[in-house]
Structure 1
Amino acid sequence: MKRLAGLRRAQGIERVIDHLQDCLREQQALPDVTSLATVAHQSPYHFQRLYRALTGESPGQTLDRLRLLNALQALQQPDASVTDAALAAGYESAQALARRCRQRLDTTPRALRADATLRQQWQQVLAQPPVDVDAATAAPLKVEVRALQPFEVVLLRAQGAFGDLDASFGRLYEWAQAQGLADDLLHLVGIAIDDHRDVPAQAHRFDCGMGFATALPQLSSPLRRQALGIGPHAVVHHVGPYEQLQAVGDALLRDWWPDSGHALAEAPLYFHFLDDPEQVPALQLRADVCLPLAG
C-alpha cells in the first residue's frame, strides 16, 4: 500500500483528490476528465484508467466518498443536526444523506451521530481510496514491448451493458457485409470509454472496432475511422473472460508501467479480441491488451 500511495503522489493523483475536496468545499460539480487530467499533469487518454488503477475508484466515486466523509465529520459536532451535516457536505437534504448512508454504510445518520465508535470506524474506511489489495499484489504481468504495424479501424460507439456488446459488433459486421468487406476482416478491437465496473450499465460507453485488409470506403455517422497500432506498445496476452480486460489494463498501468522507463503515447489503450465469445467458452477467450508507448 505504501508503493501505491507513492505512485498516487508521483502521478498527480493526490493533487486530483485534493482538487476534488476543494470542489466539495466550494460545492462545485465534478470537473470534466480533461480538467482533472490537467490537474494531474496526465494525458486525458490515460487519466481515467490510471486514476482507477491507483485508487480503485473513479473520480466521481471519490467525490461521493469524500462527500460522505465530510458529512460524518460534521456529524461529530455536538450541536450539528443531520440537516446541518447534510447541507455542509453538499447534499440537497437530510433525506438525501440518509439514503446515501443506507446505500453505502448500511446505517443512518442518526445512528452515526449517536455512536462515536461506529462513526470513527466509517471515517477511517472512507478516508482512503478502496484499492483492491489482492489485485495490487498479484503476480507480475507478462508484458511484451514491441512495435506494431499500424492499421485503421471503423469504430461504432455502443452504449449499454458490457455483456451486450455483441449486438453492436453484430451491427458493425452487417455494415461490413453490405460494403463487401466481411471476407477481409482482420482486426476486432475495443476501446473502453467508460469502465463497466464504475458506471451503470445504461451509461457504459464502448467503441467497437473492425479493421480490414482493404481500404475503407467513405464513412458516415455514427461510424468513424481511427488509426491504431502506431509505434511501440506494451502488450499483455490475456486468456479468460473479456470482462477481466479492464482489470488487466489497470495492472498494466499500476504494476508495470511506472517502473518500465517508458512514456505513454497520446493514444488510447485498446483491446485486440482474438476470439468470438459466441463460439469460444469464456475461460478460453483470448485477447491482447495493447498500451501505446511514446517513441
Structure 2
Amino acid sequence: MRQTVLHRHALGIERVVAHLRERIEPPHASLPDLEELAAIAHLSPFHFHRIYRALTGETVGHTVARLRLSVALRRLGEGASVTEAAMAAGYDSPQALARVFRARLDVTPASLRGDAYAVTPLLQRLAGPDVAVRDAAASPLRVTVQDVAPFEVVVLRQRGAFEDLDRGFGRLFGWAMQAGLGERLERLVGVPLVDHRDVAPREHLFDCAMAFGDGLAMPPAPMSLRTLGGGEHAVLRHVGPYEGLEDALDRLLAEWWPGSGRELRDAPVFHHYLDDPEEVPAPILRADLYVPLAP
C-alpha cells in the first residue's frame, strides 16, 4: 500500500511539473492557479501545496523558478543572446535574468552563450528532485488516528508575520475576558491558511481561534464562528518551537501518510496549542497537529 499510494501521487506531481513546463515554454501562457494544479494531481486543494512540498522538497514557486532558469540555460547553450534567452524564459529583462544567474548559479548569462559544455552541468544542477519517502527508521513518527468530535471556535483572521500571531490571540483573549468567557476557554487553536515558510510576512494569513464550548452567540466582526473537527484525523504531537509545525506536517505527509492507506479529506489542517509560549521555553512547547482523513 505504501508504494501504491506514493506511486499514484508521484505520477500526479509529475503531471503538474509537465504542465508547468508547457506553460513556461514559449509562447508563454498564464501560470495555472492552485485549484488547477490540484486537479491535475488529483489532490485536494486544501492539501496540494503541502503534499507537493513534502514529497518533492520544494514549493511550486521554486519549481517554476527552476524551470524558467532551465529554459534560459538551454537557449544560451544553443547560442541565443542574453536578451533572447531572457524573453524565452519569461523574464522581464536581461538584467533580471542576470541577477538570477548570479544568485543561483554564480555565473553571468553572457559567459554561457554558445557554450553547451558549460551549460550541461548547470542544467543537471537544476534537474527536479525525485519524489521519495524519507527514511523514517531513525526517528519514526508517532501518529495516531483519532475520531474528533466537531467543536466550535471563535476565529480572528490575522495577516502578517508568523512571529506576530500572538497579537491575534491577544485580541481574541481580550474580547473573551470582556465578554466574561475567560474561564470557559477550552482550547487554543490555529488554522494555517498558507505556509509561512513560503510567503512574505505581509502575505501570511492565519486563523487564530479559541474554543469556549457550545452555545456561543455570534462574536462582533471581524471575529466569526467556525466549526472544526468532525471525523477521523491523523494526530501528531510536535515538541519544539511552533514555527516547526509545518516541518512536522512535511514529515507526516512524506513518512506516515503514504503507508497509512488513507486519503486526505477536503478540510483544513489545524493545530491545538498545549502550552503558552510566554510561560514555556520554545524547545519544549507542545502542540498537536490534526490532519483530516477521508472515511
> TM (normalized to structure 2)?
0.90
List per-residue Cα deviations over 1:159-190 (Å, max 9, x = no partner): 22111111111111112222221211111111
Deviation at 1:96, TM superposition (A): 1.2
Deviation at 1:6, TM superposition (A): 5.5
Change (3 A) 1:288 1:181: same
1:136 aligns with 2:137: no
**Which residue identity lines up with residue 28 of structure 2 in the other structure?**
Q
- Equivalents in 2 of 1:31, 1:155: separation in Å? 30
List per-residue Cα deviations over 1:245-279 (Å, max 9, x = no partner): 10111111111112211121121111111111111
Match of 2:72 in 1: 71
Any stretches of 5+ residues in structure 2 without a counterpart? none
**Counterpart contact for 2:76–2:115, Cα < 8 Å:** no
List per-residue Cα deviations over 1:79-111 (Å, max 9, x = no partner): x10001110111111111112212322332123
- Equivalents in 1 of 2:29, 2:292: separation in Å? 34
1:74-113 equivalence runs, <5 A: 74-78=75-79, 80-113=80-113
1:1-80 equivalence runs, <5 A: 7=7, 9-10=9-10, 12-25=12-25, 26-78=27-79, 80=80
User: Percent identical across equivalent pairs?
Assistant: 52
**Counterpart contact for 2:102–2:108, Cα < 8 Å:** yes
Any stretches of 5+ residues in structure 1 without a counterpart? none
**Counterpart contact for 1:265–1:294, Cα < 8 Å:** yes
Match of 1:171 in 2: 171
Change (3 A) 1:277 1:4: farther
SS in 2 for 1:219: coil
Match of 2:149 in 1: 149
**Which residue identity lines up with residue 38 of structure 1 in the other structure?**
A
Once the two structures are overlaid, the 10-residue window that deviates more, 116-125 or 276-285, is: 116-125
Deviation at 1:112, TM superposition (A): 3.5
SS in 1 for 2:186: strand
Structure with higher RCO (Cα < 8 A, 6+ apart)? 2
**Counterpart contact for 1:184–1:214, Cα < 8 Å:** no
Deviation at 1:205, TM superposition (A): 1.4
- Equivalents in 1 of 2:157, 2:9: separation in Å? 34
Change (3 A) 1:258 1:130: closer
Cα RMSD after superposing both structures: 2.3
**Counterpart contact for 2:152–2:214, Cα < 8 Å:** no
Deviation at 1:117, TM superposition (A): 5.2
The total of aligned residue pairs comes to: 290
Once the two structures are overlaid, the 10-residue window that deviates more, 28-37 or 232-241, is: 28-37
Once the two structures are overlaid, the 10-residue window that deviates more, 193-202 or 80-89, is: 193-202
Change (3 A) 1:27 1:216: farther
SS in 2 for 1:44: coil
**Which residue identity lines up with residue 163 of structure 1 in the other structure?**
E
SS in 2 for 1:61: helix
> TM (normalized to structure 1)?
0.90
Match of 2:223 in 1: 223
SS in 2 for 1:136: coil
